[in-house]
Structure 1
Amino acid sequence: MKSLVLTFDDGPDIRYTPVLLDLLKHENIPAAFFVVGNHAESHPELIRQMIADGHTVGSHTMSHKNALLSGPAFVRRDFEACTRLHQELTGQAPVYFRPPWGISTPVTNRCVRHYHMKRILWDVMAQDWEKHTTSAMIAQRLKDRVFDGAVLCLHDAGEDTGGAKGAPMRTIDALISAIPWLKSRGYEFLTLDQYIKGVTAHDIPQRKKNILWP
């Protein structure tokens, strides 16, 4: 059996995230949502639904700012604010963190270690945020780029962080065809906990590069 991890960044968005959650429930597969604190604060009901449906909720900072373009004090405050909010909304501290654009600084890494979190990056993107990317293109890129053990990164929001208007709906449309295709090719959808357990149990270098251990 082959495996993959399905992850989504930048949400939640009240226009798109509920549609995506319905699709995942219909397909009976788990995903990980790396949420922006400002968005999560506006729609805590979506965070609760993610957890109730068995999905993982991770931190994607409070404001989705580029750490390289922000001062160290701001990076620390932004990280800590999102961590506190996650605790308030879910009743537990976040375990997983994905830096916006995958960019970390020494301050970011110290925060990850201080809070005993794991930084999760990705293997596969489909440029689903771009203006001229169609749902058919997204689906085909996923099919062409996926491999056993891959972490897929898509977006259920992001119009305010550089994504094209309506782009998340194209991602959802792409998944309607891509998910059955992946299942037909023998892929099992893992939770992040299952993924981490597999990395811990087996020395798999291509997976370990996606994780910063605390």
Structure 2
Amino acid sequence: MNILLLGATGRVGSQLVARALKEHHNVTALVRNPQQRLVQHRQLRIVQGDVLDKQAIEQAMLNIDVVVSALNTDGSTTLSASIPIILEAMKQQNVTRIITIGTAGILQSRVTPTIFRYQSSESKRKSIFAAQEHQRVFEHLQQSTMDWTIVCPTYLADGDFTGVHRVARNFLPEGGTKISVADTADFAYQQLFSKEFFHTRVGIAY
């Protein structure tokens, strides 16, 4: 499988790169700085560029089967500004599958299911900026023709891979308070081979 990985140097993204290469897939990573720490591997192709650069995205999208985005907000609007560019490049190259790492804030609230968690009393975060950015990505994906899945972890903790977790469609599993980076990356990786959560936000927690 030929995978385009965005956010490849981040906490979740770097683990996804390592897993995909271990399983003998071809990985293309779009990075702003080629000096950033990435493993050297014959099946890893590095494209220098920014996700807001249409030309760089189009170059990275060549011969790709699936897009995995582990981009975070970094306090900017890059996340929401880049998704239309990514979707357009996918359309041009006839790529239909995209998996993104979101946030539990954009899952539905169990207290008030008509609103998002970040808008409800369930959320303990003082800033809603990141959740709003992820909401915009969700809305773009909803309006697209792509086969999308948004993996929505709750608090991302450091820790070893356990392989044990709970998931729920569009909601956070009841009582879920955290999930490790390793288990989040593993679940996202499994979605490369599954249609179970097409067009769905998936809450994941222990």
Indicate whether the TM-score tops 0.5: no
**Relative to total residues, which structure has the larger strand share, 1 or 2?**
2
**Alignment TM-score, normalising by the size of structure 1:** 0.37
Q: Whose relative contact order is higher, 1 or 2, with alpha carbons under 8 Å and at least 6 apart?
A: 1
**Alignment TM-score, normalising by the size of structure 2:** 0.38
**Relative to total residues, which structure has the larger helix share, 1 or 2?**
1
